[in-house]
Amino acid sequence: MRKVIPSLRQSELRILLDASSILNSDHNTAKLLSYSGSDLFRLLLSPDAPVSIPGVEEVHVTRDANGDVTSISVPVRDGVARMGFGYTTQTISSLAAGVFSHSPPTSDDMRRITLGFVLELLTKYGDVDFMVTNDSVILNYRDWFQTMNKCSIASVEEVLEIIDVFAKNTGVYFLSSDYDVGSSWYWYWCSFRSKVPHYNVSTDILAAFASRFTNVLMAIDEMGLQYYMGADNDTMENTMYHFKHFIALVCGIFDSLAIETRVRLHIMFKGDHIPSRTSLNKSAGDEFLKKLKVTDPNLWGLIDKHRDFIRVIYRMRESVIHTKGLLNAGFHYDSGNGRTWVANVVDLSKDIDVFKDICSWTTGTKPFEPLTDWGIYDGYNRKTTWTLFSPYDFAKAATRKLAEFCDCYLGALGFSDYVGTPDPHNSLLDDIKMLRAEGIGF
């Protein structure tokens, strides 16, 4: 992902909406447009928008008698700024034919190339930070656009993450577009409770479990902020700081569940006086797990089903804390045809078993990125096997799996579904349900 948050010092994000695609509204598009009234985000409609949107100003173009765009007019805080447009229809047509392999290019191809040059100028002069689009063609070719036009392009799903982490960095925590709870603790508490609804009775151990889970969600957002600030040495170092913390926290979550299980089910086993032996990780907790299999076969079965996932997290913890560490690097791929991709990645070439396990969990690819849904690089050069993954994308996928596992685990221990229990006088429950329905980000 190219940099879309230029600086943590800026007070607003300036976003160009691709009017031809963004107005084919779906649920996520409606969510995005609901933030048009926020002081944190300045939304602008691209030229020739078929309809207007209340509260969203439009960029206009001027054309000559031949239909060539000659200038761009963009609303600014104190009026309208105008800039020349130096690309002829012939230039745009030739470029479109080369990029999209249509000769002659279609009118949609021409519009897309023209929009890319408009975005380039608006980015160059600081009027927008990036463009959001639902156009799958632009998104599939965005590496080319971003390289050619020196700009940034995001999908609607991505921009919801972007505005969420940007808002949090300014101290704003949206449960919905018109409800800033004003508290990081409360937002992450609602997020945790929405993801693990069977958490509803606290013990000392489960309180530690909940604290670690909310910290996991905070670490993901910190990685997300670095991800959307672009790949460089600073964002790589900051990402790995939070990723290592993330791995340690997830291991702590597993340990909390194991300890709560031992106490609740009165499990005794050889070596139970050694704290590290009470573990969901088979290499350390084999005796504990053997006793659990007899005491509660269903719970043991749930752990066994997730054995590979648990093992991978502990293997990563071993690398992070005790041995060589995870090998992180900036990765730059140039296809030779104008498409480049740059990212902060972790290289698992020294942990090939871990890499194979993560690959086995893949169910698809991340839309419009050369990554799987677990963050494994699956790029343009398929003749080469790259043992690389994106820490941010891996952390999100791992946390989805973690939340599902933890919720099933607590249910198996006998806890009821807090979110599924009607209570018309429970404001926390109302806020959790609001975040589920209207929230943005992870």
CATH (domain of 159): 3.40.50
Mean pLDDT over the full length of the chain: 90
* pTM, to two decimals: 0.93
Residue 397 Cα distances to 93, 143, 406, angstroms: 41, 24, 14
207 and 128 in a common domain:
no
Residue 353 Cα distances to 148, 311, 341, angstroms: 39, 11, 26
Q: What pLDDT is stored for residue 421 in this prediction?
A: 83
Residue 289 Cα distances to 92, 212, 300, 316, 349, angstroms: 66, 23, 7, 21, 31
Burial label for 293, CB within 10 Å (0-12, 13-18, 19+), is: middle
229 and 374 in a common domain:
yes
Quick check: 339 pLDDT over 70? no
Q: Residue 396 CA to chain centroid, in angstroms?
A: 7
Q: What percent of the chain has pLDDT over 90?
A: 63
Q: What pLDDT is stored for residue 148 in this prediction?
A: 81
226 and 93 in a common domain:
no
How confident is the model over 222-242, as pLDDT tens digits? 999 999 998 888 999 999 999
How confident is the model over 373-398, as pLDDT tens digits? 999 987 654 555 678 889 999 999 99
Domain contains 221: yes
How confident is the model over 3-18, as pLDDT tens digits? 888 777 888 999 999 9
Residue 23 · residue 52 · CB < 8 Å: no
**Span 283-295, mean pLDDT?**
96
Alpha carbons 323 and 232: distance in angstroms, whole number: 25
162 and 296 in a common domain:
no
Alpha carbons 376 and 388: distance in angstroms, whole number: 6
Residue 348 · residue 316 · CB < 8 Å: no
Alpha carbons 359 and 312: distance in angstroms, whole number: 12
Domain contains 174: no
Domain contains 125: yes
Domain contains 114: yes
Identify the domain containing residue 278 by its residue range: 198-416
Q: Residue 12 CA to chain centroid, in angstroms?
A: 20
pLDDT higher for 322 or 425?
425
Alpha carbons 127 and 140: distance in angstroms, whole number: 25
pLDDT higher for 77 or 290?
290
130 and 61 in a common domain:
yes
Coil, strand or helix at 157: helix
How confident is the model over 167-221, as pLDDT tens digits? 999 999 999 999 999 999 999 999 999 999 999 888 999 999 999 999 999 999 9
Q: What percent of the chain has pLDDT over 70?
A: 94
Domain contains 287: yes
100 and 210 in a common domain:
no
Domain contains 193: no
Last residue of a domain, one of 130, 146, 168: 168
228 and 161 in a common domain:
no
DSSP state of 43: E
Coil, strand or helix at 343: strand
Domain contains 186: no
**Span 25-51, mean pLDDT?**
89
202 and 163 in a common domain:
no
Alpha carbons 375 and 366: distance in angstroms, whole number: 8
247 and 140 in a common domain:
no
**Tokens at residue 401, please?**
């799996």
Alpha carbons 149 and 205: distance in angstroms, whole number: 53
Residue 261 · residue 413 · CB < 8 Å: yes
DSSP state string for 60-111: EEEE-TTS-EEEEEEEETTEEEEEE----HHHHHHHHHHHH--SSPPHHHHH
384 and 249 in a common domain:
yes
Cβ-based neighbours of 74, under 8 Å, separated by 6 or more: 44, 59, 60, 80, 81, 82, 83, 122, 127
| Total domains, the chain | 2
145 and 67 in a common domain:
yes
Domain contains 438: no
**Tokens at residue 386, please?**
């790259």
DSSP state of 268: -
228 and 150 in a common domain:
no
Coil, strand or helix at 327: strand
Residue type, 93: S
Characterize the bridge pairing of strands 153-155 and 130-133: parallel
